[in-house]
Amino acid sequence: MTINNVAAPNSVVTKMSSREIAELTGKRPADVIRDIWVMLGQLYSLNKDDANLRHDKNQQVILAEGVIAVIDSRGYISELLLDRRHTEILITGYDVVRRAAVIDRWFALESGTELPQLSKMEMIAAIATNAARNEKRLVVMEQKMEHLEQGTIPVGYQGYSYLKATYGLSDAKSRQLVMAWSVPHKKVPHVAPGGQVIQMSVVHEESFEKALNQMMREAEQRGSQWYHPKMGRFSINGWKTAA
C-alpha cells in the first residue's frame, strides 16, 4: 500500500485522536490504534503491515478520507485522527458507557463547548445518565444491523471481496468470470458503513471455484499474465503453475 497524501497542517474539519478515544474509554492507546486498523482493513482493505510511511516523518498523512495518521520523527504512527463518521463506526463494538463518553465528547467538540470538569464519581454518574438516554437508540440500531448481517448471506455464498482475497482474481475479473461461466449469484441486504442498507452481490463459492479452475486449465500464460478468450488478459495472485 502506497500512501502519498500529506494532510494540510491547518485542517478545519473536526477530528478526534486515538489517544483521546483511549482516555475517554479507558482503553490502552495501542489497543485503540489496533481497533482502528481493523476497521480500516474491513472498510478499505488497508493493512498497517503494508503501509510504508517511514519517509513521512513529522507529518500527518491521509490514509483515507476522514482518517489521518500522525507520523513521529522515527517514521512511526504516534496516533490516528478520525472524523465523526469513522469514530462512530469504530465505537459500534464498544460497550454503552464507552460509546456515551465518546459521543458526549463529539458534542462538545462540534458545539464549541467543553464539558465541565467533574470528579471521577461525578463523571461516572454523568456517563451512566447519558448512557441510559442513548441506550435505546443504540440498541435498536445494533439489533437492526445484527438482524441484517446474520442469515442474509445464503449458505455457500460469498461476497466479491472474500472471493478476491481467497482466489487472487480482481473484483472486476471475478465479476466477468461469474457472467462468462453463468456462476449462480444474487443480491442480498447488507449494512454499509454508516448504517444504511444496501444490496450486496454474493456468489456461490463452490461454483465459482469450479469455473475458476476450468478457466485456468484453458488459459494461456503470457509472461506474468494469463489470457483466456472469455476473459481477455488477466492476473491472478497465488496461482501455482503445474510443473
- How many domains is the chain built from? 2
pLDDT at 89 over 50: yes
Rounded to 10°, the helix 96-111/18-25 angle is 130
Q: Average of pLDDT values for 7-11?
A: 53
Say yes or no: 35 and 103 in one domain.
yes
Q: Identify the residue with better confidence: 173 or 114.
A: 173
Query: Which candidate, 98, 167, 183, 108, places its Cα nearest to that of 134?
Result: 98
Residue 9: inside a domain, yes or no? no
Give the percent of the chain with pLDDT over 90: 44
Residue 239: inside a domain, yes or no? no
Residue 151: inside a domain, yes or no? no
Say yes or no: 171 and 97 in one domain.
no
Q: Which domain, by its residues, includes 213?
A: 157-234
Residue 72: inside a domain, yes or no? yes
Q: How far is CA 79 from the centre of its chain?
A: 17
Count of other CB atoms within 10 angstroms of residue 217: 9
- From residue 187, give the alpha-carbon distance in Å to each of 60, 204, 210: 39, 11, 21
pLDDT at 243: 36
Domain limit, last residue, from 44, 79, 111: 111
Kindly tell me the burial class for residue 3, based on how many C-beta atoms sit within 10 Å of its own C-beta (0-12, 13-18, 19 or more). middle
pLDDT at 36: 94
pLDDT at 167 over 90: yes
Q: What is the pLDDT of residues 106-159, one digit of tens each?
A: 888 887 665 555 556 666 666 666 666 666 666 656 655 555 554 467 889 999
pLDDT at 193: 62
Say yes or no: 162 and 220 in one domain.
yes
Residue 229: inside a domain, yes or no? yes
Contact 134, 103 (CB under 8 A): yes
Residue 172: inside a domain, yes or no? yes
Domain limit, last residue, from 53, 76, 111: 111
Computed over every residue of the chain, the mean pLDDT equals 81
Whole-angstrom distance, CA of residue 104 vs CA of residue 20: 13
Say yes or no: 164 and 225 in one domain.
yes
Residue 147: inside a domain, yes or no? no
